[in-house]
């Protein structure tokens, strides 16, 4: 098939590359000229394992191309994906200006029947708005072209997006016409030849499914963090509790690891948006609102532990911070716990020595660019000399089994604050470390 994907951010670029990988001819559109010129050279704007290699390969095969002009894709495409950003407004709502702007341009430039697919995460009812905008523009042109609007939300995990797209556990498609469903079945057939994973529903239900999926996962995280905080108060070990409840197949082990809270581009935004959708319709979503409140509080748990240990005045203290990204496998720092922890310590006078395998450029150029007293290092061990404690905030694999003897030798004090519960409390105490983690009282 010939496809157009509008938007070359995280979702759009992964979508375009994966469809091209299966032999489709894909045109990716973006208004950012510099980004498009870089993409033509195989230079991608994000870190995602395997993505740069896939894009470069399909450029060479001529199955993916990049342009700033929508018409370059529309003229030959049967399906066009809208994958632009839906930034969060001050009230928690999703801003649809970019989605509707693309829809309007589609209506102004389409010259053949096509399927228009909302790939962006959008509020319930957006499909109707996209349809109305396109129809309005076609009427202005005096054209009567058939088109169908489809909701096809993405369920990609940062750090594993290629595998998630190529081997999906489900493909949710919301449409109102059998022709649209058939077009999507044909498009996704190479991804589902072993097992039919396509779930068909109406457009509004598909739009809702994305929000509910992320809110459910966020709920599990916040629930377990709430439990962790209670465990500390009653001198229980949340890590043992997690194993005890996870063995119940109705609960399972996924998303019940205590930590410093969730971050990233999806969970915070989608939880707020779902709360806003409820409020717009006269309903107070108390549980979902609590999920957000617990998460906001959890991001300060580690910094509070540091202050409890060293006091409010940290002017003569230096801390090594291992991990800046909100999760391993990505350079994304949106709503990352590291931002909150570092800001809390620095405002009390602390000096920070930071390392992350992928996110340091993001920190330096944007998220922590105005933070003083922070220095960046090229390896984890370089951060350690003369620090008062090490703080682990992202569970990168290279942090899982460090040389603890080297830590003890280089650090001023053998103290670790573990915001992801990566280490064994007993093991570190036996090695002479003072160890603080989430959900277990320190002795």
Task: Give me 123's structure tokens.
Answer: 């509020």
Distances (CA, A) of 91 to 87, 95, 122, 210, 405: 11, 10, 15, 20, 49
- Given 18, 28, 231, 266, the catalytic residue: 266
Helix, strand or coil, per DSSP, at residue 128: helix
CB within 8 Å of 231: residues ≥ 6 apart: 237, 238, 241, 439, 440
What's the gap between Cα 320 and its chain centre? 25
* Sign of the alpha-carbon torsion through 51, 54, 58, 60: positive
Hey, which residues does 172 pair with through a beta bridge? Answer: 199
266 belongs to the catalytic site: yes
CB within 8 Å of 215: residues ≥ 6 apart: 270, 271, 274, 288, 291
Q: Where are the alpha helices (DSSP H) in 281-326?
A: 286-298, 301-310
Torsion angle of C-alpha atoms 271, 273, 275, 277, degrees rounded to 10: -150
Q: Which of 394, 442, 387 is nearest to 422 (CA)?
A: 394
Q: Which of 422, 427, 421 is nearest to 440 (CA)?
A: 421
Report the catalytic residues.
Answer: 266
């Amino acid at each position: 098939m010939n496809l157009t994907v509008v938007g070359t951010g995280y979702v759009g670029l992964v979508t375009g590359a994966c469809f091209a990988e299966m032999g489709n001819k894909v045109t990716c559109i973006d208004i950012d000229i510099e980004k498009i010129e870089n993409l033509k050279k195989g230079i991608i704007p994000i870190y995602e394992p395997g993505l740069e290699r896939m894009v470069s390969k399909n450029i060479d095969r001529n199955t993916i191309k990049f342009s700033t002009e929508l018409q370059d894709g529309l003229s030959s495409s049967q399906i066009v994906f809208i994958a632009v950003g839906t930034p969060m407004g001050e009230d928690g709502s999703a801003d649809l200006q970019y989605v509707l702007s693309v829809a309007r341009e589609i209506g102004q430039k389409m010259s053949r029947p096509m399927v228009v697919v909302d790939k962006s995460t959008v509020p319930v009812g957006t499909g109707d708005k996209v349809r109305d905008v396109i129809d309005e523009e076609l009427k202005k042109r005096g054209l009567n072209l058939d088109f169908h609007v489809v909701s096809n939300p993405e369920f990609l995990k940062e750090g594993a997006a290629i595998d998630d797209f190529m081997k999906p556990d489900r493909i949710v498609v919301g449409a109102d016409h059998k022709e649209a469903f058939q077009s999507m079945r044909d498009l996704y057939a190479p991804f589902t030849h072993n097992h039919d994973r396509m779930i068909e529903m109406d457009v509004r239900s598909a739009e809702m499914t994305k929000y509910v999926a992320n809110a459910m996962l966020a709920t599990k995280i916040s629930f377990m963090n709430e439990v962790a905080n209670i465990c500390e108060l009653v001198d229980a070990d949340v890590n043992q509790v997690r194993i005890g409840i996870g063995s119940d197949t109705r609960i399972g082990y996924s998303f019940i690891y205590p930590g410093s809270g969730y971050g990233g581009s999806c969970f915070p935004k989608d939880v707020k948006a779902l709360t806003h959708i409820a409020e717009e319709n006269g309903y107070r979503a108390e549980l979902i609102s609590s999920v957000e409140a617990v998460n906001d509080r959890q991001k300060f748990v580690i910094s509070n532990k540091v202050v409890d240990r060293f006091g409010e005045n940290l002017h003569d203290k230096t801390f090594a911070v291992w991990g800046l990204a909100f999760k391993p496998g990505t350079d994304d720092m949106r709503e990352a716990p590291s931002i909150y922890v570092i800001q809390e310590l620095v405002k009390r006078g602390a000096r920070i020595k930071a390392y992350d395998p992928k996110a340091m450029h993001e920190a330096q150029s944007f998220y922590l660019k105005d933070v003083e007293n922070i220095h960046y290092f090229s390896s984890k061990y370089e951060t350690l000399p003369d620090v008062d404690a090490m703080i682990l905030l992202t569970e990168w694999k290279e942090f899982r089994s460090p040389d603890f003897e080297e830590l003890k030798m280089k650090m001023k004090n053998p103290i670790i604050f573990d915001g992801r519960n990566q280490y064994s409390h007993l093991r570190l105490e036996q090695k002479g470390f003072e160890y603080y983690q989430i959900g277990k009282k320190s002795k």
